[in-house]
Structure 1
Amino acid sequence: MTVEQIYTGCLAQGAYYIRSGQEAAIIDPLRETAPYMQRLARDGAKLKYIFETHFHADFVSGHVDLSEKSGAPIVYGPKAQPEFEAIIAEDEQIFEVGNVKIKVLHTPGHTIESTCYLLIDEEGKESALFSGDTLFLGDVGRPDLAQKSANMTQEELAGLLYDSLYTKILPLSDDITVYPAHGAGSACGKNMMKETVDSLGNQKKVNYALNQADRESFIKAVTDGLLPPPAYFGMNVAMNKKGYDSFEKVLDKGMKALDAEAFELVAENSGALILDTRDNGEFAKGFIPNAVNIGLKGDFAPWVGALIVDVQQPLLLVTAPGTEEEAVTRLSRVGFDNVIGYLEGGFPAWKEAMKEVDSVHRITAQEFASEFNLETSKVIDVRKESEYQAEHVEDAFNRPLAYINDWVGDINPEEHFFLHCAGGYRSMMAASILQARGYRNFSEIEGGFKSISETNLPKTDFVCQSKVFAS
């Protein structure tokens, strides 16, 4: 028996490949199926089942494509209602894969259909738990995503989650290995560990949610401090329930090379958003007017989902040459299937065609320090609230990037401000969005707070409540 975790850092997501003899199972596959088909061919194994722990919100699963290519049925736990053919398992139902067994444990709470899969090895020993979004390392799945579909409050769902964890998971043996669907960085939880595998025994010791005195305290603990989910979550759930275009079709459409003339024409007539995936330093020097920068070398797909409201939005890509397929692939993982082409030759081709170019006013941290005045300067810090509270420029305003669509209207376009994040990745995203919406009276700080912290600028962890953000 072999168990392989296939972890995708950009999404903080774990898929699992289980093989026993010449049969295999895959749990929570990603959109592109080639890696799984290659493993099956390598091992000379037949895919017997595709197990889904729930209808995922943060990514589009590869279950439909993988089932079509392999012939393996898709398995969901009780209460699931997909709009395609699938096995809806009963609680505690056993599935055999080679010489091992996989036991269904219905664990509602994160969603109504949420299910864990317990692996029983060749010796009959319960050896691993594929816990989906029910149990993370250091955390549990947020109970606020399925409120509408379940017709329940987040507190009621949290109560179900308590019952699931405390009656079905905690009684299991301490030496069981826990394989969660996500790790640190995922928006499906709030307190996940950076590790991606652990023993259940250790989780019983260190996971705050598994150490609550009673049901009431558990509900309070897991619902406290939940941030609003990204807008694309609901649309990904719908795709996972209803099905979607094949990955190959999406890739074929997105990999349409357009020269500068054709790119400009399509941009003007299609309503497409120009998405520039280059590094923030390159983008700052020059870009196509109104382009939005979300760098491929970072948490690209989740940020696309957070900042671009509609997964159906037509997209035109500007990439570093050679990264076009990676960009289309990573967009498809979060349901952004409507890429209609990319700029052939990248931004240099645009410049060579003598097309209009824009740039961001980027300054160094040292320049910021020399220009900053505590009494008159306005600073917008787009880091997370927790980062800001740890330390920030004195009297800076905290406006997290994830909520830019909510706070951008509060800015006075006539008043200059300084803009920064931790290192430049997020502040350049913010800068590009601001400029696309007509805000230009700002200076973005290269290197972010990391570079600012090396200057003598006044810094504090005190949150000033007296200043007014908008003027």
Structure 2
Amino acid sequence: MNIKHFYDDALAQGSFAIESGGEVALVDPSRDIQQYIDFAHDHNAKIIAVFETHPHADFISSHLELHNKFDAKIYVNEKVGVSYDFSPLGHGEEVKIGGVTFRALFTPGHSPDHNSYLLLDENGEQKAVFTGDSLFVGDVGRPDLREGAGNIQVSKKELAGMMYDTVNDVFADLSDDTVVYPAHGPGSLCGKNMSSDLSSTIAKEKENNWAFQIKEKDKFVDAFLEGQSFIPKYFPNSVEVNRKGAASLEEAVKNAEIKEGFEIPSSALIIDTRVKEEFKKGHIKGAINIQNKEADKFETWLGSIVGPDEEYYLIAENKEELEFAIYRAAKIGYENNLVAGVINPKGDVVTDPLVNVEDFKKNPEAYTIIDIRNKSEVADGKFFESATNIPLPELREKADDIDTEKPIIVHCAGGYRSAAGFSIVKRLLPEAKVYDLSDAVNDFK
């Protein structure tokens, strides 16, 4: 038996391939299937099964493509209410893959239709449990993402109660040395307190995970609901896309229109993916700067700033970088509302003045300071006492609330998000003086 853990740092998302006897099963595969094809080829094996824990909110799964290309069976809890051919698995039901066995565990709490999958080795011993978004390392999957989304409508308080039962009646009964493989790690918005470790054991989670420590259900529910982060605009849409099944990633990227020297309509929503330094030297008026370097969380912020029903354009420095941006947009299902990708766009080009950091240090009271960090970050302390907090995902809706009588300074925690926030404020308040504090925010921490 071979287990391979694939991890997408940008989305903090884990997926898994398990090979036994020349057969491969995948758990929660991301939209890019080439990595799984390579794994199967390296082990002279065939992909025959996909186990989906639930309809994911934060990424698009490739389960339907794998079914169409390899005739792989899709296993999922029937409560999901899917639109494709699948094999339902309820609590305790089993599937044989080569010499190993997958046993479904019904583990609601993050969603009302969530399965985890317990892997039994060739001797029937508990080897690992693939917990999806139910049990993380140090945390459990947040209960508020499925209000108003999915096949079953359940309140977050009801889901929190379900998670208490899942932790105490399902996971607590597993063998202590069973390896825990969750679908997410630190940085994911599907939890709030994840460890930096990407895997664990049941024994370690019993000892260290807060969810095992609170024995009273009411107190567990209260602690669980408190302090959850924002919900990106794209999350509910991804749930529905995953319930229906998505087209192949290759098809999504190939079908995206690419233009050069095209004049984008002035009223259009434009996302410029270049680094902030190049953006400020000259960009199409009204463009929003979401940087797309490999280590950036481009997908998260694209899907937090742009709604899934909003048409938008992408701008990049060259074709290679544009195709990379389209690829990343497709990972969250945003190829469908992309009008076109554009290189060297025509139009009204503007430059952005740089902030005079020394003047700001001496006269902070002369500026309107906008802190675009998340509310949970601001709760740990402001960098500037007079700052107004408008989190980046809310900025397009609340920019009109900003005081424009003074020059405006936009800041985040480290400089990446403020490039987007600054460009949003510039777009919506064109008559105001707006500056990006950028990396200089580190001087004020």
Q: Which amino acid aligns with 2:325?
A: A
Q: Check whether the contact 1:232–1:311 (CA below 8 A) recurs between aligned residues.
A: no
1:418 maps to what in 2? 409
C-alpha separation between the residues in 2 aligned to 1:323 and 1:301?
A: 14
1:74 maps to what in 2? 74
CA gap 1:27/1:312 in 2 versus in 1, 3 angstroms: farther
Counterpart secondary structure, 2:160: helix
C-alpha separation between the residues in 2 aligned to 1:295 and 1:356?
A: 21
C-alpha separation between the residues in 2 aligned to 1:307 and 1:381?
A: 16
2:258 maps to what in 1? 257
Pairwise CA distance, 1:66: 1.4
Pairwise CA distance, 1:391: 4.6
C-alpha separation between the residues in 2 aligned to 1:87 and 1:191?
A: 34
Q: Which amino acid aligns with 1:343?
A: V
C-alpha separation between the residues in 1 aligned to 2:428 and 2:386?
A: 26
Alignment partner for residue 217 of structure 1, among 216, 219, 223? Answer: 219
C-alpha separation between the residues in 2 aligned to 1:311 and 1:33?
A: 26
1:460 maps to what in 2? none
Query: For 1:38-67, what per-residue CA distance to the aligned partner results, in whole angstroms no more than 9, with x for missing partners?
Result: 222222211121010001111111111111
Pairwise CA distance, 1:198: 1.2
Pairwise CA distance, 1:413: 3.4
Q: Does 1:366 align with 2:350?
A: no
C-alpha separation between the residues in 2 aligned to 1:385 and 1:194?
A: 22
Query: For 1:393-426, what per-residue CA distance to the aligned partner results, in whole angstroms no more than 9, with x for missing partners?
Result: 2322222212213421211334322111122211
C-alpha separation between the residues in 1 aligned to 2:98 and 2:273?
A: 44
C-alpha separation between the residues in 2 aligned to 1:73 and 1:450?
A: 51
1:26 maps to what in 2? 26
TM-score, normalised by the number of residues in structure 1: 0.88
2:169 maps to what in 1? 167
C-alpha separation between the residues in 1 aligned to 2:223 and 2:78?
A: 27
Query: For 1:146-168, what per-residue CA distance to the aligned partner results, in whole angstroms no more than 9, with x for missing partners?
Result: 23353332111111111111101
C-alpha separation between the residues in 1 aligned to 2:175 and 2:200?
A: 13
C-alpha separation between the residues in 2 aligned to 1:178 and 1:320?
A: 42
Query: For 1:184-215, what per-residue CA distance to the aligned partner results, in whole angstroms no more than 9, with x for missing partners?
Result: 11111111112211112111111111110211
Query: For 1:62-113, what per-residue CA distance to the aligned partner results, in whole angstroms no more than 9, with x for missing partners?
Result: 1111111111011102422101111111211111111111110011121111
Alignment of 1:298-447 (within 5 A): 298-311=296-309, 313-319=311-317, 321-338=319-336, 339-344=338-343, 349-350=344-345, 355-363=347-355, 365-370=357-362, 372-374=363-365, 376-388=366-378, 389-439=380-430, 440-447=432-439
C-alpha separation between the residues in 2 aligned to 1:382 and 1:176?
A: 41
Q: Which amino acid aligns with 1:400?
A: P
1:239 maps to what in 2? 241
Q: Check whether the contact 1:106–1:115 (CA below 8 A) recurs between aligned residues.
A: yes
C-alpha separation between the residues in 2 aligned to 1:316 and 1:373?
A: 35
Query: For 1:427-450, what per-residue CA distance to the aligned partner results, in whole angstroms no more than 9, with x for missing partners?
Result: 110111112223432221131421
Q: Does 1:452 align with 2:428?
A: no
1:109 maps to what in 2? 109
Q: Check whether the contact 2:368–2:387 (CA below 8 A) recurs between aligned residues.
A: yes
Give the unaligned 5+ runs of structure 1: 454-471
Counterpart secondary structure, 2:40: helix
Counterpart secondary structure, 2:119: strand
2:139 maps to what in 1? 139
Q: Which amino acid aligns with 2:352?
A: V
Alignment partner for residue 193 of structure 1, among 192, 195, 201? Answer: 195
C-alpha separation between the residues in 1 aligned to 2:7 and 2:364?
A: 46
Q: Which amino acid aligns with 2:409?
A: F
Q: Check whether the contact 1:12–1:183 (CA below 8 A) recurs between aligned residues.
A: yes
Pairwise CA distance, 1:364: 5.2
2:272 maps to what in 1? 276
Counterpart secondary structure, 1:170: helix
Q: Check whether the contact 1:250–1:337 (CA below 8 A) recurs between aligned residues.
A: yes
1:91 maps to what in 2? 91
Q: Which amino acid aligns with 1:295?
A: Q
Moved over 4 A (4+): none
Between stretches 81-90 and 140-149, larger displacement belongs to 140-149
Q: How many residues are treated as equivalent by the alignment?
A: 438
What value does the CA root-mean-square deviation take over the aligned residues?
A: 2.0
TM-score, normalised by the number of residues in structure 2: 0.93
Q: Check whether the contact 1:132–1:180 (CA below 8 A) recurs between aligned residues.
A: yes
1:286 maps to what in 2? 282
CA gap 1:317/1:197 in 2 versus in 1, 3 angstroms: same
Alignment partner for residue 182 of structure 2, among 168, 180, 183? Answer: 180
Identity %: 34
CA gap 1:364/1:322 in 2 versus in 1, 3 angstroms: farther
